[in-house]
Amino acid sequence: MLRAQWKDIGLDNLAHAIDSQITLATVCNTTQILDTIHWLEILNEENPECALALASRLNIVLSRVDLESFGRWILTGLRMYPRDHDRQLAYFQLDDPQALQALNNEAGEGSLLAALPSLSLLLHGLAGKELELQQQHQSSLYGLPLRPVLTLKNLLIPDDYTHLDGLDRYRLYRAAIAHAVAHLRYSEPSLPVQTLKPMGIAVISAIEDARVERLLKLDYPGVEGWFLEFLRRGVKPQELSFAALIGRMNLALMDTHYQDDNYWVDKARRLFETKENDLHDYGAFREIASILANDLGQMRVPFHITHYTVPESYRDDNSFLWDFTSANNPLSEPISLQIKGPANQEKEGGKTTHPDETTEKVCTKEIALSRHFYPEWDYKLSLMRNDWCTVIEKIPSQLARHDLNNRNKSDVKDISPLRIRNQCRTRLLRRQWQGDDIDINAAIAVMVDKRQGLSPDPRLFLRRKSEEQLSSTIVLLDLSESTNDIVGIRMESILDIEKNAALLLVQSLIKSEDRIAVHGFSSNTRIEVNYYRLLEFGTTLDTNATEVIRSVPGRYSTRMGAALRHATSHLKLEKTNHHSILLITDGAPADVDIYDTNYLIEDASAAVQECKKSGVRIFCLVLNPQADPYVSKIFGQHNYRIVDNPTSLPKQLASIYQQLIVL
């Protein structure tokens, strides 16, 4: 029947399998046959081997489920094993126990079309007004799972809910209707997006979902159970992705018995509960959502809009809440946050290109030279955790060497180097033949020798000698992501200003005997504190050295304590009179694996004390006007300076350097 039709397009094997099986199945009319073939065709486009395996077992599958359930069963297999070809094949061959379980679950479910009349009555009863309930069809096997779409006049319910979303789909439809009604009753629709970023929109929407559900629960207490069934089903307690954190937060905001050890989730619950008695105050909850979204940004939780869908299967896609036409940077699909992936997205273990992919490529091309392990102070436990942080010394990648001619930055050649002279001190030379004063210790030794009848040493004088005092200094640059922020009328990044200041100081010391090095650091959790020796002690500042300093990127976070300990280890090798570190930073110590804001501040303070005991003086220049509380705790009252005007950093750095080397 089908072989002649499909042979020309290379589907002869599939057509033969269908011909041999479809007459055995409970497919009794042409429409049903065409619908069955449609599902097999689109499966064949995605995975021909799986399509052929399914075609050879059509009689088993179609004898148990109708065509609507047949399509959902296919979607279940693809979503269950999205990047595992072998397990997908086992699923469609019915060799996977999950395939049989899914088939049995689908067999016990009625169709959405049959449930629409009773669902419409529920919708009208809860909403108190006429709304049209419609089916929403999935058009792509590998598309994101659909979510309900709400307007002022319609509610579209997806027809692609699988047993992964809920074992009883009627209860899932019921929860979706109740949630939509909560928005209709308590949410203000079509708010302007303006300058909100996609991550901020997603967090605000999730907080609004929780707010309106809590309000609906006050009017209809029984709906709490409708929601909790699916909130609990979707939660992933151990995952730290954006969707997983949102799912954990959603359950925490509805279920008072749920316990979550994640700091961010716990913070969301605490903030939400402070406004629990004023659920009608949308502005207060919007402010809470902004705080939480900012925290996720600081934690560098990745958010890719093309991969994100609302975690809870019963909740709508939030397009009801927003007017994307007002966005300064409108999304590529303005109707909702849920956007289908690109057509050319790889499906078998592939990956999609993201805006930050260039940065990630740069990271992978860097050369790791060595690894060093350092302790970290846990102030809550009063415990020094030995070998807790891994500092990785790296060479900046050649791929990171930006085109300097196209960057709007100052050239250090345009700035006149400051004159910094080596400082001198007077040293006393004891037991001299002649000098300016009597050496008391030598005189006592003469008297002792005389009483013992020995011949005394006639060198009884002190002589003062001036000698040059040499110093070794590391200029330590904060290379975290926040240093990419643009400041000042010259529109320079903080990182470029840091680099210019360091280069100027090095130029100023070209004719000096003092030794100077330029290092930098950033961190990506305690197991990856990246440390760059951009300019070594005794190295000439030539074109190549300048380019190395210019090229290092700003990314990741600021685990300051580990970097200070490692810089001190380099200074211990220097045989000079003074050892010092000049740290330039724009913010408090932070990292994505730390949620307690005081933890790394306390560790940095402990690291500074350790450095001082090693004879290393540390001074911090911070480009943050609000930094007083934490920098004073870390460095002490007289060991930091806040730079209000970033463009003045080069001169302030040189001034502080000259003060340090005479102390």
How does pLDDT run across 47-92, given as a tens digit for each residue?
A: 788 888 887 777 777 766 666 677 777 877 777 777 677 888 888 8
Beta bridge partners of 395: 367
Q: What is the pLDDT of residue 300?
A: 80
Do residues 530 and 524 touch, judged by C-beta distance below 8 A? yes
- The answer to whether 530 touches 400, Cβ cutoff 8 Å, is no
Higher pLDDT, 433 or 526: 526
Determine the 3-state secondary structure of 592 from DSSP: coil
- pLDDT given at position 65: 67
What mean pLDDT is predicted for residues 414-421?
A: 48
- Find where tokens 């033969």 sit: 16
Q: How many Cβ atoms are within 10 Å of 74's Cβ, its own excluded?
A: 24
User: How much is the pTM?
Assistant: 0.48
Band the pLDDT of 204: cuts 50, 70, 90.
very high
Higher pLDDT, 412 or 654: 654
Mean pLDDT score, 41-52? 77
Q: Which residues pair with 558 in a beta bridge?
A: 590
Is residue 600 within 8 A of residue 563, CB to CB? The reply is no
> Which of the pair, 117 or 584, is modelled with greater confidence?
584
Over pLDDT 70: what percentage of the chain? 77
* Pick from 161-165, 405-409, 499-503, 566-570: least confident: 405-409
Q: Is the dihedral of CA 123, 127, 132, 136 positive or negative?
A: negative
Q: What is the spatial distance between Cα 515 and Cα 517, in angstroms, rounded to a whole number?
A: 7
So what's the pLDDT on residue 111?
Answer: 62
Closest alpha carbon to 244 in 310, 289, 146: 310
| Cβ-based neighbour number of residue 557 at 10 Å | 26
Q: Is 336:205 a contact under the CB 8 Å cutoff?
A: no
Are 193 and 216 within 8 A, CB to CB? Answer: no
Place of tokens 């589907």: 11
Q: How would DSSP label each residue in 116-133?
A: HHHHHHHHHHHHSS--EE
Domain ranges of the chain: 3-107, 112-326, 424-468, 470-525+535-660
> What is the pLDDT of the chain when averaged over all its residues?
79
Which residue did the predictor score with more confidence, 26 or 605? 605
Report the pLDDT averaged over residues 472-488.
89
- Which of the residue ranges 427-441, 484-498, 559-573 has the most confident prediction, judged by mean pLDDT? 559-573
**Of 419-423, 440-444, 529-533, 540-544, minimum mean pLDDT range:** 419-423
Beta strands at 529-535 and 515-523: parallel, antiparallel or unpaired: antiparallel
Residue of higher predicted confidence among 204 and 492:
204
Q: What are phi and psi of 103, to 5 degrees?
A: -65, -40
Distance, in Å, from the CA atom of 155 to the CA atom of 314, rounded to the nearest integer, reads: 12
Write out the two tokens for 189.
């629709």
Q: Is the pLDDT of residue 393 over 70?
A: yes
pLDDT at 30: 59
Q: Which of 40-44, 434-438, 482-486, 585-589 has the lowest mean pLDDT?
A: 40-44
Average pLDDT over residues 371-379: 93
| Residues whose CB is less than 8 angstroms from the CB of residue 177 and which lie 6 or more positions away in sequence, other chains included | 119, 122, 123, 126, 133, 155
The yes-or-no verdict on residue 579 having pLDDT over 50 is yes
pLDDT for 658 equals: 79
**Bridge partners of 608?**
none
What is the three-state SS of 2-17? CHHHHHCCCCHHHHHH
pLDDT exceeds 80 at position 514: yes
pLDDT digit string, tens, across residues 88-111: 888 888 888 777 777 666 655 556
Dihedral, 551, 552, 556, 558 alpha carbons, nearest 10: -140
Q: Which residues of 510-526 are buried (b: 16+ CB within 10 A; e: fewer)?
A: eeeebbbbbbbbbbbbb
Q: Write the class of the CATH domain 470-525+535-660.
A: alpha beta
DSSP 3-state assignment of 60?
helix
Beta strands in 124-282 (DSSP E): 132-136, 149-150, 154-158, 191-192
Q: What is the mean pLDDT of residues 448-459?
A: 82
Sheet containing strand 149-150, edge to edge, reads 132-136, 154-158, 149-150
Cβ atoms within 10 Å, residue 32: 17
Cα(366)–Cα(642) distance, integer angstroms = 33
Our CA dihedral for 74, 75, 77, 80, rounded to 10 degrees, sits at -170
Bridge partners of residue 192, in order along the sequence: 323
- CA end-to-end span of the chain: 95
pLDDT of residue 336: 44
532 three-state secondary structure: strand
Query: Does the pLDDT value for residue 412 go beyond 60?
Result: no
Residue recorded with tokens 């003062």: 464
Rounding to the nearest 10 degrees, give the CA dihedral for residues 172, 176, 181, 187: 140
Using alpha carbons, list the distances in angstroms from residue 461 to 109, 358, 425, 428, 464.
106, 70, 20, 10, 10
Spatial contact of 650 and 500, defined as CB atoms under 8 Å apart: yes
Residue bearing the bigger pLDDT, 599 or 469: 599
Residues 6 or more apart whose Cβ sits within 8 Å of residue 128: none
* 580-598 b/e (C-beta count within 10 Å ≥ 16 → b): bbbbbbbbbbbbbebbeee
For 241-272, the pLDDT digits (tens) are: 899 999 999 999 999 899 998 999 999 999 99
Structure-token pair, residue 595? 């949620």
Span 146-161, average pLDDT? 85
User: Which residue, 31, 98, 96, is CA-closest to 66?
Assistant: 31
